[in-house]
Amino acid sequence: MKHKIAICVSGQTRQMNEDQNIQKFLEALQIFENEFEVDYYGHTWADQEDPDPIILNKFREYKKEDQSVIWDTITAPNNIVQRDDRHGWTYWFQTKESWMTDPEYRAILDGTSDTSYIDFAKERIYGTVGQIWSAHQSFNLLRDTLKKEQYKAVIRLRWDTSLQWNNGRLVTEEQIERFKQQLHDWIYSKNDFAQHNCCCLVSDQAHFRDWGLPFFNDFCFVFRPSDVNVIKNIIFGDIMKVFKNIFNMPHMQHLHQGHSLWAHYLIATLPDGKITPMLPNIFTASGAPYKSNKRWGIS
């Protein structure tokens, strides 16, 4: 009998419904389905397409919401971040000097653009925090089932996940087998994880340095659902408490973007630092994701 795991899929669905991308996503899911019984939980935004029924029908819970929930939450006068005098508007939104010579930005400032400044600011904030917000909402979907199902792991994936075959089939197949072995050993505290186990397993494409920002590849995160911090701060956690913890980190003047924000999210939710980068990097994006913030120098 296979043990159960939960897979939480989040973010933008993007071009996942193209035939080739559907098959790529199903191929990635097969890595887990061959080894475990899987319950799927998903979250995306209202402006995104629903996944194709062949994928969506796999899901135990699936939620869509408008990204305006982000704006409404962070601007609410009683939210826990805004009540702290240290945490003002600049933590969520920062301008760049280079924008001042950009005709599109100047038109927004001058009022001659169809885009208002407040809508411009909203889009930049959504682009910065949307992926973290969506992931956290997908984790929250486990609240009613976590205790009953006794999952061995909670795994976060992106909707555009596919296997990374560009290193050649032989190398990739070896990496896939090593990925499955590492996941198995982590779940059952064997081999590399026999003495020192961790509550979060991430890709080996990650780094912490004395200089520069931390980096985590965001295609796959694995959490131990019995860990007290995973339960309290991720599955049952309030997203605004997470952001408050991020803002309270030393030298944190504003939110960082992309992979660095993922690193800060994990550190903020798992304060004991039990995060281990020992999963082979076998996943990549299907297609070329469009990110509107890149137009403005925000990665």
The total domain count for the chain is 1
Tell me, what CATH number does 235's domain have?
3.90.550
Is-contact 58 41, C-beta < 8 A? no
pTM of the model: 0.93
Convert the pLDDT of each residue in 105-135 to its tens digit: 999 999 999 999 999 999 999 998 999 999 9
Q: Which domain holds residue 44?
A: 4-296
Model confidence pLDDT, tens digit, residues 189-247: 999 898 877 899 999 877 666 556 677 788 999 999 999 999 999 999 999 999 888 88
Q: Alpha-carbon distance 94 to 221, whole Å?
A: 29
CB 130, CB 67: distance < 8 Å: yes
Angle between helices 258-269 and 239-247 (to 10 degrees): 100
Please write down the HEC assignment for all residues of 246-296: HHCCCCCCCCCCHHHHHHHHHHHHCCCCCEEEEECCCEEECCCCCCHHHHH
Query: Are the beta carbons of 247 and 142 closer than 8 angstroms?
Result: no
- Stretch (H or E) spanning 72: helix 68-74
pLDDT tens digit string along 37-46? 999 999 999 9
Beta strands in 33-130 (DSSP E): 37-45, 59-65
